[in-house]
Chains A and B, each alone.
Chain A
Amino acid sequence: GQSLEQPSEVTAVEGAIVQMNCTYQTSGFYGLSWYQQHDGGAPTFLSYNALDGLEETGRFSSFLSRSDSYGYLLLQELQMKDSASYFCAVSPNRDDKIIFGKGTRLHILP
């Protein structure tokens, strides 16, 4: 079967840095995506990694290690508006749909 594991909740302090992990077990691997969802809202795309290494977009960075079947999303200079759920998603193969993890709920303390 296909599975993605994410911690259910993470708590961090405003202004700090937080890392949210994602490990996957899938029949194949073609890429790892991250989406953000605020309560009651629509998920929005954050980043995509197909190759090993770190991708940076402003305060957000995403890392992938294909040999470890592992990735993480790093948020720097946390703001209260970053309180949301963060989902990783894997593409198991080139021409198939992506699979979402259950998400990590990020709580930010002032």
Chain B
Amino acid sequence: DGGITQSPKYLFRKEGQNVTLSCEQNLNHDAMYWYRQDPGQGLRLIYYSQIVNDFQKGDIAEGYSVSREKKESFPLTVTSAQKNPTAFYLCASSMGGRISTDTQYFGPGTRLTVL
């Protein structure tokens, strides 16, 4: 089955520690995205990548970093510089022909809690 996987579903970390969230897709999609969702809020874009070895900042990139070394993988690192990292993190992918009109396919999400 094709899809997007994120692991783990729940993640706990101590304040001041960096943590990396994984996102893998086997849909052969070119574009991948990371969103943050807070309670009662919409999806805010952290970073996105339209092609391997290239990525762009979204609306709330501060305190986060990404890499796109492989087409299938787009890991997100939440650094200690992120002031309020506790949130639900969603990864998505799309075919990438045109990101403005592509349907985005989402992973199940990782709920990060920083203690």
Contact = CB atoms under 8 A, between A and B. Distances in A.
Chains A and B belong together in one complex: yes
Q: Is the interface of A mostly helix, strand, loop or mixed?
A: loop
Contacts of A98: 99-100, 104
Contacts of A95: 98-100
Interface in B36-62: 40-45, 48, 58
Given A31-B101, A96-B100, A101-B42, 8 more contacts: A42-B90, A43-B92, A87-B43, A96-B99, A97-B48, A98-B104, A102-B41, A103-B42
Interface residues of B, number: 23
A93 interface: yes
A49 B48 CA distance: 23
A93 B100 contact: yes
A108 to B, nearest CB: 19
A42 B109 contact: yes
A49 to B, nearest CB: 11
Interface in B84-115: 90, 92, 98-101, 103-109
A98 B58 CA distance: 10
Those 8 A-B pairs whose CB atoms lie nearest each other, nearest first? A91-B100, A42-B106, A102-B42, A100-B43, A100-B42, A45-B103, A43-B106, A30-B100
A97 B40 contact: no
A30 B99 CA distance: 11
B48 to A, nearest CB: 6
A97 B43 contact: no
A95 to B, nearest CB: 6
B16 to A, nearest CB: 28
A12 B11 CA distance: 36
Contacts of B43: 43, 87, 100
B42 A30 contact: no
B40 A8 contact: yes
17 contacts: A30-B101, A31-B100, A42-B107, A43-B43, A43-B92, A48-B101, A48-B103, A93-B100, A94-B98, A95-B100, A97-B33, A97-B100, A100-B42, A102-B41, A102-B42, A103-B41, A105-B40
